[in-house]
Amino acid sequence: MNSKRGQAPGGVLRSLGERTALDALDYSVPARANRLDFMLGGSTLAALVLLGLTGIVLTQFYNPSPVGAHESIRYVITSEPLVALLRDVHVWGATAALVLVFTHLAAVFWRRGFRQPREGLWWSGVLLLALLFGLAFTGSVLRADQEAVEALAHAVAGADAAGPLGAPLKADFTPSSPLLTRMYGAHVSVLPLALVTLLALHLWLIRHLGVSATGHVRVAFRTHLRLLGGISLLVVAAVTLAAIASPGSLLAPGVEGFEVTKPHWTFLWIYAAENLFGMRGMLAAPAVLFGFMAVVPLTDREDGTLATATRALGVVLGVLMIAAIVYAALAPAQSHIGAGM
Amino acid sequence: MTRMALSVAGIVVGVLLSATSAVAHDRGVLRLSTRELVVGNAVRVNGEKFSPSANLELVVVGTRGRIAVGKVTTDSAGRFQTDLDVPQHVAPGTYRLIAVADDGDEVATVDVTVTVWESDAILSAPADGPPTPSAEPPQLERAESPWVTGGALVSVVGALLLGLIALRRPTRHDRTVDA
């Protein structure tokens, strides 16, 4: 065995490191960044990767035509155990991603991680949240079951009320392609592309502006990555376990013109607003939430007088949102857009 | 060289021509007396340029489903004429009227709009009657495999163990102190 061969493992790794610029990871981060509340964003990224990988498999089995959509999912559930499990992981991965991103957002809001110079970081995060909502919505309507049909009907009604802004959600926007197929296109191409682009910006800003953790003690970023990897693996384990224990549901094929279901839990707060205020509530609730998040870095400044009020309003909105979700989950299904029950 | 290029070109043209002639039936044209269909009313449909004596099914396809509205057979010139009743249970909206050949190919399509709302409107209904919407999941026999479930559980345990190992506390060696 010659000396070159004896050094092979270390040499290969070193060589690989040189050629992939892994040295760029040799920098330090505040030790506080290793706390759980600073790893929620990275954990969300892990959930998104899981969603991307399972989604690639699901696209091989899903039929995005109105005629075959429901049947293709039914086929997966009844005939393809592995793909069915991956679908369940996909569904639970979406729940994990949304829970993690909301917790991440709440943590950043509470520690005022949006203050100068990190306003752009916050705004890119808010846009990422909006994209995640878009992905959750387009994903849930792809089932073409009763809940999906009602969700799509609400979107179309909202699009009608929104005027020209809602045009892409109208059935006659492109008459040659069904709305469901366009939702599929948005779910697998438009929104993921926008998500990856924004994510790249978000990560770039984190790398160059740093996280908002304070303290002089610093640790190697590789250590941070190891811990983040550990948490990500726990997230994957939890999501897979949830998928095994509670598989994703599929209702009967959707029947138009009725409202007998409630939306996915992530949209229950909007559903609650619609219960209370009708179509205006459905449009106003997300506008209020995202409008508030958009102005947070402008109103909560170190030299500003609105900092306390902004924080208080944020807490009130958060509590209202949770209360609305609980209320909508407990309240009986209601008809909102003139459909039968 | 020129001869070889001509030979290759000839082969390519031949392949393309044979592929073209492999199409089993002709694509036709649908002409409607109106594209504004009214629920419960009939619409005159004329078809032409189809294959002669072809059996076609006419279906209405919308955003979330399809419904068969009639069957026709073309004459020796590939034409047909029929009056279609727009079923009561088709919801208002934008649809495509499609002619489907025996082998399932869509051989003609035209965009239509259905008007007049019916409270019991449906789209994805079977032709034999209106379905009932339900918030309850149907009884599906889920495909199960001990290998899949077992593999998933092993993966869960593996991910948990690896995750816990990765989460060991940073050592003093990991820490650096800024100047």
Q: Residues A201-207: what's their mean pLDDT?
A: 94
pLDDT at residue A189, as a whole number: 95
| Residue A22 CB partners (closer than 8 Å, separation 6+) | A16
Give tens-digit pLDDT for B103-121: 888 888 888 877 754 433 4
ipTM confidence score? 0.80
**Contact at CB, A237 and B156, closer than 8 angstroms:** yes
Higher pLDDT, A127 or B27: A127
Q: Is residue A270 scored above 80 in pLDDT? A: yes
Higher pLDDT, A105 or B169: A105
Beta bridge mates, B4: none
pLDDT at residue A234, as a whole number: 96
Residue A140 to residue A133: CA distance in whole angstroms: 10
- DSSP one-letter string for A266-321: GGHHHHHHHHHHHHHHHHHHHHHHHHHHHHHHHHS-TT-S-HHHHHHHHHHHHHHH
Confidence band, pLDDT 50/70/90 cuts, at residue B155: very high
Which residue of B64, B113, B145 is the best one to mutate when testing the A interface, meaning the one whose CB has the most A CBs within 10 A?
Answer: B64
What is the maximum alpha-carbon separation in chain A?
81
Which residue of A222, A233, A337 is the best one to mutate when testing the B interface, meaning the one whose CB has the most B CBs within 10 A?
Answer: A233
| Residue appearing with tokens 């190697």 | A220
| Residue B64 CB partners (closer than 8 Å, separation 6+) | A66, A69, A144, A148, A149, A152, A178, A179, A180, A254, A256, B123, B124
Which residue of A53, A73, A249, A255 is the best one to mutate when testing the B interface, meaning the one whose CB has the most B CBs within 10 A?
Answer: A255
Mean pLDDT of chain A, nearest integer: 89
Q: Is A288 on the interface with B (CB under 8 A)?
A: no
| Residue A229 CB partners (closer than 8 Å, separation 6+) | B163, B166
Residue A18 to residue A27: CA distance in whole angstroms: 16
Is the Cβ–Cβ distance between B74 and B85 less than 8 Å?
Answer: no
Q: Is residue A238 scored above 90 in pLDDT? A: yes
Give tens-digit pLDDT for A154-175: 888 888 888 888 888 877 777 6
User: Which residues between 64 and 93 in chain B have a beta carbon less than 8 angstroms from any beta carbon of chain A?
Assistant: 64-66, 91, 93
pLDDT at residue B161, as a whole number: 95
Which residue of A77, A240, A258 is the best one to mutate when testing the B interface, meaning the one whose CB has the most B CBs within 10 A?
Answer: A258
CB pairs < 8 Å spanning A and B: 180
Confidence band, pLDDT 50/70/90 cuts, at residue A3: very low
Confidence band, pLDDT 50/70/90 cuts, at residue A88: very high
Give tens-digit pLDDT for A43-66: 999 999 999 999 999 999 999 987
- Which residue in A146, A176, A262 is closest to B133 by CB distance? A146
Residue A303, by phi and psi: left (phi above 0), alpha (psi -120 to 50) or beta? Answer: alpha
Is the Cβ–Cβ distance between A143 and A91 less than 8 Å?
Answer: no
Q: What is the DSSP letter of A190?
A: I
- Which residue in B135, B142, B167 is closest to A261 by CB distance? B135
Confidence band, pLDDT 50/70/90 cuts, at residue B33: confident
Residue B61 to residue A293: CA distance in whole angstroms: 41
Q: Taking the CB of residue A287, how many other CB atoms lie within 10 A of it? A: 10
| Residue appearing with tokens 């509530």 | A281
Higher pLDDT, A135 or A213: A135
Q: Is B179 on the interface with A (CB under 8 A)?
A: no
Measured in angstroms, the CA of B5 and the nearest CA of chain A are apart by 40
pLDDT at residue A174, as a whole number: 78
pLDDT at residue A18, as a whole number: 82
Confidence band, pLDDT 50/70/90 cuts, at residue B14: low
User: Which residues between 252 and 281 in chain A have a beta carbon less than 8 angstroms from any beta carbon of chain B?
Assistant: 252-258, 260-262
| Strand A217-220 with B42-48, pairing | unpaired
Q: Residues A247-256: what's their mean pLDDT?
A: 85
- Which residue in A66, A233, A333 is closest to B63 by CB distance? A66
pLDDT at residue B121, as a whole number: 40
Q: Residues B123-138: what's their mean pLDDT?
A: 62
Confidence band, pLDDT 50/70/90 cuts, at residue A304: confident
Dihedral pair phi/psi, residue A206, rounded to 5°: -65, -45
Measured in angstroms, the CA of B54 and the nearest CA of chain A are apart by 23
Give tens-digit pLDDT for A171-203: 777 767 788 889 999 999 999 999 999 999 999
Share of residues in chain A with pLDDT > 70 (%):
95
| Residue A161 CB partners (closer than 8 Å, separation 6+) | A279, A283
pLDDT at residue A102, as a whole number: 93
Q: What is the strand order of the sheet B106-115 is part of?
A: B36-38, B106-115, B93-100, B55-61, B66-73
Say what the pTM is: 0.73
Q: Which residues from A are below 8 Å from B141, CB to CB?
A: 78
Q: Which residues from A are below 8 Å from B170, CB to CB?
A: 31, 34, 219, 223, 227
pLDDT at residue A159, as a whole number: 84
Chain A nearest-CA residue for B135: A261
Q: Is residue A101 scored above 90 in pLDDT? A: yes
| Residue B176 CB partners (closer than 8 Å, separation 6+) | A28, A218, A219, A220
Secondary structure class of B37 (helix, strand, coil)? strand
Q: Which residues from A are below 8 Å from B66, CB to CB?
A: 66-67
Q: Is residue A250 scored above 80 in pLDDT? A: yes
Measured in angstroms, the CA of B45 and the nearest CA of chain A are apart by 20
| Residue B12 CB partners (closer than 8 Å, separation 6+) | none
Q: Residues A12-32: what's their mean pLDDT?
A: 84
pLDDT at residue A138, as a whole number: 95
Residue B46 to residue B35: CA distance in whole angstroms: 12
Measured in angstroms, the CA of B39 and the nearest CA of chain A are apart by 15
**Contact at CB, B66 and A233, closer than 8 angstroms:** no
Q: Is A245 on the interface with B (CB under 8 A)?
A: no
Residue A271 to residue A290: CA distance in whole angstroms: 16
Beta bridge mates, B112: B95
